[in-house]
């Protein structure tokens, strides 16, 4: 009886548990996807990465032939279907087949027939007797299908990507099952990574929403001096979906349905992200960072720079720029050294930045790799911020609150102010660099002075309150 009471209280409490901020949902799921290296849920719980080759732990569910070659699973082993309880989910399921193969009636009928026959192998309950092809599309080097299994009240989705022109049986062999039940959402992300020289490179991203939604993309975002982002948008000439190959993954997507922006964020929801970073950093269009980063120049950097750490920091920042569709020059190393002992472990660190033509800069403070951290949250070995070419304030890693300030080399002292213009921390700078213990969330402005006490610069610090990783633009998820 006591167990039943506890279970009932837990069930009643579920609806009032606050949901995580959308970007943190993205980061948490991305890190779980990195650990599993298989098709799993994405930013909204429905996104999945379709690896070009079956990875460890997935082989048992990816070897689909379209015809049962072993006894079907017991009824309790089918993956639970999700209730169709949102109007926009119903709109997605009721949308006509999209994609440039939608007009091939024979192919669509064959997909429906073969996927219906393979329900048991796909862990789909045979009572979901209706099969609908939501997307069938040929992109350069790839064929993508998205299939819904449903009855009047519940549905499950499955997807696959194969080589261009792949047969339905080949697509079935590429169709996996998520390793955990996923909620049914009106926006579906798909992604694919293919093996290249022993590494995996993201080469495909797909976004699918209900028919009638407007899809736009942007790859020219420019960070402003106040930390905001200015960009232009290009309309994608499709009905509620977008497909991108490896040459078009460094962009931001926006879906507008019935006049409301429902999603705005990284292409494909950040699929293919290994450290939510990019080219050579694990992001969309990027090589998974399993090897050493290529060397980078440290000329002009202050302090003592660890060359390998600097290369990784540059790689990570470039990946963030690509992930968020930001246009900026290659990152530069501006400082290296060790953080104070009050930062856990007193790790070696490197600060890199990249400044847009409009005068706003993105920065990454990269530290030595920490011990494994629990989910959820962004990686603990770097912090991001926005700033100006002459003054950067970035949060230090770890639970002990603090910031690193890098200003003009002539700066000798810094003051940190809160929202009431009160000085909440002050400290000395060595060649313009110093770390201060302070709650970063309270810091709204920074002032730096020279050795004679003359004010050199005053700047706001909006990125310290915005949260790590967003670089001026939050992810919008408003379904």
The pLDDT tens digits for 297-334 are 999 999 999 999 999 999 999 989 998 999 999 999 99
Higher model confidence: residue 373 or residue 149? Answer: 149
Cα torsion angle, 49, 363, 357, 472, sign: positive
The pLDDT tens digits for 160-177 are 999 989 999 999 999 988
Scored b (16 or more CB within 10 A) or e, 377-395 reads ebbbbbbbbbbbebbbbbb
The pLDDT confidence band at residue 67, using thresholds 50, 70 and 90, is very low
Give the Cα separation of 189 and 212 in Å (integer). Answer: 17
pLDDT confidence of residue 245: 87
pLDDT confidence of residue 55: 27
Please determine, for residue 3, whether its predicted confidence score (pLDDT) is greater than 70.
no
Mean pLDDT of 235-256: 93
pLDDT confidence of residue 181: 63
Q: Give bridge partners of residue 323 from the DSSP assignment.
A: none
pLDDT confidence of residue 71: 52
At 312, list the tokens: 């990784």
pLDDT confidence of residue 69: 38
Strand pairing category for 214-218 and 234-235:
antiparallel
pLDDT confidence of residue 380: 62
Give the closest residue to 21 by CA, choosing from 340, 345, 471, 476. 476
The pLDDT tens digits for 39-65 are 322 333 323 333 232 222 222 222 333
Give the closest residue to 350 by CA, choosing from 297, 401, 393, 314. 314
Yes or no: say if 194 and 203 are a contact pair by the CB < 8 Å rule. yes
Yes or no: say if 148 and 118 are a contact pair by the CB < 8 Å rule. no
Please determine, for residue 447, whether its predicted confidence score (pLDDT) is greater than 80.
yes
Mean pLDDT of 263-276: 64
Scored b (16 or more CB within 10 A) or e, 139-156 reads beebbbbbbbbbeeebbb
Residue 453: CB partners within 8 Å, gap ≥ 6?
413
Backbone φ and ψ of 54, nearest 5°: -60, 135
pLDDT confidence of residue 63: 30
Backbone φ and ψ of 63, nearest 5°: -85, 60
Domain ranges of the chain: 21-270, 302-473
Give the Cα separation of 62 and 171 in Å (integer). Answer: 11
The pLDDT confidence band at residue 99, using thresholds 50, 70 and 90, is very high
Mean pLDDT of 176-197: 78
Q: How far is CA 403 from CA 34, 235, 351, in A?
A: 29, 40, 12
The pLDDT tens digits for 386-417 are 989 999 999 998 877 899 999 999 999 999 99
Give me the chain's average pLDDT, please: 80
pLDDT confidence of residue 72: 53
Yes or no: say if 164 and 186 are a contact pair by the CB < 8 Å rule. no
Higher model confidence: residue 136 or residue 6? Answer: 136
The pLDDT tens digits for 465-475 are 655 556 778 88
pLDDT confidence of residue 68: 37
Give the Cα separation of 217 and 267 in Å (integer). Answer: 8
């Amino acid at each position: 009886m006591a167990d039943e009471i506890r279970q009932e209280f837990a069930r009643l409490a579920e609806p009032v548990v606050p949901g995580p901020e959308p970007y943190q949902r993205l980061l948490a799921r991305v890190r779980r996807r990195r650990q599993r290296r298989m098709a799993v849920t994405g930013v909204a719980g429905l996104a999945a990465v379709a690896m070009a080759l079956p990875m460890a732990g997935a082989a048992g569910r990816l070897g689909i032939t379209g015809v049962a070659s072993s006894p079907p699973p017991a009824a309790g082993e089918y993956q639970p279907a999700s209730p169709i309880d949102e109007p926009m989910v119903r709109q997605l399921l009721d949308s006509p087949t999209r994609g440039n193969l939608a007009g091939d009636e024979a192919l669509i009928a064959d997909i429906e027939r073969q996927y219906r026959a393979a329900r048991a192998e796909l862990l789909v309950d045979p009572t979901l007797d209706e099969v609908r092809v939501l997307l069938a599309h040929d992109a350069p080097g790839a064929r993508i299908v998205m299939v819904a299994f449903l009855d009047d009240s519940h549905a499950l989705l499955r997807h696959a990507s194969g080589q261009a022109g792949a047969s339905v049986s080949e697509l079935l062999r590429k169709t996996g099952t998520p390793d955990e039940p996923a909620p049914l959402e009106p926006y579906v992300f798909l992604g694919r990574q293919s093996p290249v020289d022993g590494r995996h490179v993201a080469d495909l991203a797909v976004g699918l929403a209900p028919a009638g939604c407007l899809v736009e993309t942007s790859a020219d975002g420019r960070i402003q001096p106040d930390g905001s982002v200015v960009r232009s948008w290009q309309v994608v000439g499709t009905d509620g979906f977008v497909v991108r190959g490896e040459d078009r993954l460094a962009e931001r997507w926006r879906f507008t349905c019935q006049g409301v922006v429902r999603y705005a964020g990284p292409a494909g929801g950040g699929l293919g992200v290994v450290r939510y970073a990019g080219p050579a950093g694990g992001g969309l269009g990027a090589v998974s960072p399993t090897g050493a980063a290529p060397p980078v120049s440290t000329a002009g950097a202050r302090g003592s720079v660890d060359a390998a750490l600097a290369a990784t920091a540059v790689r990570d920042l470039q990946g963030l720029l690509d992930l968020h569709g930001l246009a900026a020059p290659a990152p530069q190393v501006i400082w290296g050294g060790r953080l104070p002992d009050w930062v856990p472990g007193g790790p070696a660190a490197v600060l890199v930045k990249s400044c847009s033509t409009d005068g706003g800069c993105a920065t990454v403070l990269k530290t030595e790799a920490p011990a494994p951290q629990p989910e959820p949250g962004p990686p603990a070995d770097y912090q991001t911020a926005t700033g100006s070419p002459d003054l950067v304030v970035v949060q230090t890693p770890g639970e002990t609150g603090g910031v690193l300030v890098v200003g003009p080399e002539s700066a000798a002292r810094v003051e940190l102010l809160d929202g009431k213009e009160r000085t909440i921390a002050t400290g000395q700078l060595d060649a313009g660099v110093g770390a201060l213990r302070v709650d970063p969330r309270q810091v709204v402005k920074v002032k730096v002075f020279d050795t004679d006490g003359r004010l050199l610069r005053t700047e706001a610090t909006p990125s310290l309150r915005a949260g790590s990783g967003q670089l001026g633009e939050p992810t919008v998820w408003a379904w």
